[in-house]
């Protein structure tokens, strides 16, 4: 990313962009949008209730209402963790077999279908703010996202051109197939030897994983298609030891510890996501970082969430580290766009 974007002088520095659910919710197309919005953990079931033609959503909503009485206030993580552990409790201890017990497994299976319907089309629309970010990334930079959707993937495909190539390890691995659908190489000059990295920490709606190998598909799953195995569900315990996630998380550790600039958008530091908290606390919040952290940009409408992230990495901050807090992704996007037009930055 060009340092003029943030008012820093000197040579370009390695940049890490971190995207949480708030980055998708803050996308430009959300303004005035009627229908299903990119879901947050806290309102997943409210958004799911808008999938009027989804049989899986109807069944899952019926389960939630029978189990909890209503969907309001139920988070995605609470639902999956409780349903998953209840299903394991019954299946592993084998005390009360029968159809009543199997409904937990059925609800979890419906969840994996609904995830594709929620985070695939129609949420993968063009977003000028994601494009503004993608346009300024260099081949040595990394995007680390906890989102299943493909808003940033599509933006990289559209505007990063030769700097983005899945066949050069853009996702942290070489896909078995499907790369041609996720790149557009145009313009003059030789192709880059490497690629901007996009590390999708919890998987993606455009991945199909078999035997540890990932094939890329379009962002809209087939009707009724399950994404089980393609995404890490929002449970309290996440298994990161299986391919390709083991490799992705190792690469993420390197990217976090070596970044000179970290831009965090819409990530609210969930207290139960202990692996993610450890990633930033250990690799960004350490005095033994490989590189000095020159700039930390935190974008979140929740001031407490912004402070929580700054506190999480405080061990790696130095007196000369500049910290910029912004309330909305639109503020970041407009800042980048304004700088592209030659305007001064509010630093």
Q: Where are the domains of the chain?
A: 3-32+125-202+238-340, 44-119
- Phi, psi (deg, nearest 5) at residue 210: -145, 120
Say if CB 20 and CB 146 are below 8 A apart.
yes
Tell me the C-alpha distance between 163 and 183, whole Å: 10
Query: Mean pLDDT across the chain, nearest whole number?
Result: 89
- Ranges of beta strands (E only) in the chain are 15-19, 142-145, 197-200, 207-210, 213-216, 261-265, 295-299, 322-326
CATH of 3-32+125-202+238-340, one of 2.40.30.10, 3.40.190.10, 3.40.50.1220, 3.90.580.10: 3.40.50.1220
Question: How does pLDDT run across 267-290, given as a tens digit for each residue?
Answer: 988 877 889 999 999 999 877 777
The string of DSSP codes covering 64-76 is: HHHHHS-STT--H
Tell me the C-alpha distance between 89 and 272, whole Å: 21
Confidence of residue 129 (pLDDT cuts 50, 70, 90): very high
Which pLDDT score is estimated for 123?
67
Alpha-carbon dihedral angle through residues 17, 23, 26, 28, given to the nearest 10 degrees: 60
Question: How does pLDDT run across 45-87, given as a tens digit for each residue?
Answer: 999 999 988 999 999 999 999 999 988 889 999 999 999 999 9
167-171, 217-221, 334-338, range with greatest mean pLDDT: 167-171
pLDDT reading at 346 higher than 50: no
**Contacts of 92 by beta carbon, 8 Å cutoff, 6+ apart:** none
Alpha-carbon dihedral angle through residues 130, 131, 135, 141, given to the nearest 10 degrees: 30
Of 270 and 96, which is predicted with more confidence? 270
Residue among 265, 266, 240 at smallest CA distance from 253 = 240
Say if CB 261 and CB 142 are below 8 A apart.
no
Which pLDDT score is estimated for 113?
97
Confidence of residue 5 (pLDDT cuts 50, 70, 90): low
What HEC string does 265-281 produce? ECCCCCCCCHHHHHHHH
Tell me the C-alpha distance between 195 and 175, whole Å: 14
Say if CB 23 and CB 268 are below 8 A apart.
no
**pTM for this structure?**
0.92
Percent of the chain scored above 70 by pLDDT?
91
Question: How does pLDDT run across 295-323, given as a tens digit for each residue?
Answer: 999 999 999 999 999 999 999 999 999 99
Say if CB 204 and CB 153 are below 8 A apart.
yes
Strand pairing class (213-216; 207-210): antiparallel
Instruction: Provide the β-strand partners of residue 19.
Output: 145, 265
């Amino acid at each position: 990313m060009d340092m003029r974007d943030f008012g820093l002088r000197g040579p370009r520095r390695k940049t890490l962009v971190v995207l949480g659910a708030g980055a998708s919710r803050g996308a430009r197309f959300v303004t005035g949008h009627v229908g299903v919005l990119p879901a947050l953990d806290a309102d997943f079931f409210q958004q799911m209730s808008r999938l009027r033609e989804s049989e899986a959503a109807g069944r899952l909503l019926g389960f939630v209402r029978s189990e909890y009485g209503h969907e309001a206030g139920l988070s995605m993580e609470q639902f999956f963790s409780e349903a998953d552990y209840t299903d394991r409790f019954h299946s592993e201890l084998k005390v009360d077999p029968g159809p009543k017990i199997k409904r937990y497994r059925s609800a979890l299976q419906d969840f994996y279908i609904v995830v594709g319907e929620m985070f695939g089309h129609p949420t993968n629309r063009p977003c000028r703010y994601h494009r503004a970010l993608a346009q300024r990334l260099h081949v040595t930079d990394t995007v680390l996202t906890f989102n299943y959707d493909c808003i940033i993937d599509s933006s990289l495909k559209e505007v990063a051109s030769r700097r983005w190539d899945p066949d050069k390890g853009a996702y942290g691995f070489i896909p078995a197939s499907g790369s041609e659908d996720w790149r557009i190489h145009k313009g003059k000059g030789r192709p880059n030897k490497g690629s901007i990295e996009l590390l999708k920490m919890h998987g993606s709606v455009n991945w199909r994983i078999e035997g540890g190998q990932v094939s890329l598909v379009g962002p809209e799953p087939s009707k009724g298609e399950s994404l089980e195995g393609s995404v890490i569900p929002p449970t309290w315990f996440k298994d990161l030891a299986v391919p390709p996630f083991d490799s992705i998380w190792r690469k993420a550790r390197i990217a976090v510890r070596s970044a000179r600039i970290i831009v965090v958008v819409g990530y609210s530091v969930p207290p139960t996501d202990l692996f993610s908290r450890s990633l930033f606390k250990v690799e960004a919040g350490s005095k033994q970082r490989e590189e000095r952290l020159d700039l930390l940009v935190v974008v979140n409408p929740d001031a407490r969430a912004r402070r929580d992230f700054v506190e999480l990495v405080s061990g790696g901050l130095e007196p000369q580290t500049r910290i910029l807090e912004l309330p909305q992704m639109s503020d970041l996007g407009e800042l980048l766009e304004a700088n592209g037009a030659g305007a001064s930055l509010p630093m």
